[in-house]
Amino acid sequence: MQIDYSLFELKPITQLNRLKRKKFQGVFFRVEKKFYLEYFPWEEFGDHSCDYVLDSIKRTKKLPPVLNQQLRLEKDQKDIEKKVFKNHLLVKPHESIQMISGVYKVKYLGELNVLSKFISSLNGKVRLDFNNALDEKTFLLFWNSLSAGDKEKIEFVEDPCCFSYKVWSKFDSAGVPLANDFNPYQATICRFTVFKPNRNEFLPRKNQIFSSYMGAELGQYHAYLALMLWGDTSLYHGIVTNDIYSNQLNLFKKQDEQLYSLQHNLVEKMYSQLEEREWKNLI
């Protein structure tokens, strides 16, 4: 199996996480000169670097499981039905929100009292993602400060702090609807799991939210294919990350407030751009 590679960089339009990185590196792979894969690491959350993955593939002469999963999606994509899907709206608490209902997603890095006021102002549901940034005491103070009505608005809280079965059991006992992303899956504690096809192998689970990995367009497309093949399209997902990087192709078009469809012409343009890249042989 011939595998070629091409490194790429993404430059965010606004700050994406608490580490304030100004650029992000990933690597595309080309298999047998016709199938394309994407590896986009978040090393601050424990992912291996691009160099590590390149060295591993060169040494073992095989793709890691998550890239093999992408390869299967690439090969099967013509047979996968391309349907519309529901996507949560990624917002920041200081933004003026026009939507009167639906599902919001907040990746929060700021003052918790600002977040509390924002939740009170909403009419829809909200998903909170802290990326393990809080500690047990801080999160419980925040949760206990919310009114019963505001707690009902929270569909789930994703990764409030680093996983500990003891600590997360306390959250569960306090009525927190937990969701898992970077932490180990604990089906007895978490009401939702967040599945990222660009990082994890698929396992069937109830209330599974499909999400892109905030990488390049190819990764979004593969996450979409995985949702079409394995996911529950009655749920709101996290595939769409439009307009977060410079010179980004927005592969998904909004049909109404939170319903999206694939723009096939932009998928074709994406593959044309991949074909035109400079490629180096790996194995």
User: Distance between CA atoms of 274 and 283, rounded to whole angstroms?
Assistant: 19
pLDDT tens digit sequence for 93-147: 766 665 556 798 998 877 899 899 989 988 889 999 998 889 999 999 999 999 9
Q: What is the arithmetic mean of pLDDT over 188-192?
A: 86
Q: How far apart are CA 177 and CA 161, in angstroms?
A: 14
34-38, 93-97, 163-167, 258-262, range with the lowest pLDDT: 93-97
Q: Predicted confidence band at 15 (pLDDT cuts at 50, 70, 90)?
A: low
Quote the pTM value.
Answer: 0.91
At residue 141, the pLDDT reads 96
Distances (CA, A) of 102 to 39, 123, 155, 236: 32, 8, 11, 9
Q: What burial class does residue 32 get, using C-beta atoms within 10 Å of its C-beta: 0-12 exposed, 13-18 middle, 19+ buried?
A: exposed
**What's at 156, amino acid-wise?**
F
137 phi and psi, to 5 degrees?
A: -65, -45
pLDDT (0 to 100) of residue 183: 56
Instruction: Characterise 128 by phi-psi region: left (phi > 0), alpha (psi -120 to 50), beta (else).
Output: beta
Exposure class string for 142-174: b at 16+ Cβ within 10 A, else e: bbeebeeebeebbbbbbbbbebeeebbeebbee
Instruction: Specify the pLDDT at position 181.
Output: 79
Give the pLDDT score at 53. 97
Mean pLDDT of 26-43: 96
Residues 12 and 244: beta-carbon distance below 8 Å: yes
pLDDT computed for residue 177 by the predictor: 96
Q: Would residue 49 be called left, alpha or beta, if left means φ above 0 and alpha means ψ between -120 and 50 degrees?
A: beta
Q: State residue 124's pLDDT score.
A: 86
Q: What is the DSSP string of 62-86?
A: S--HHHHHHHHHHHHGGGS----EE
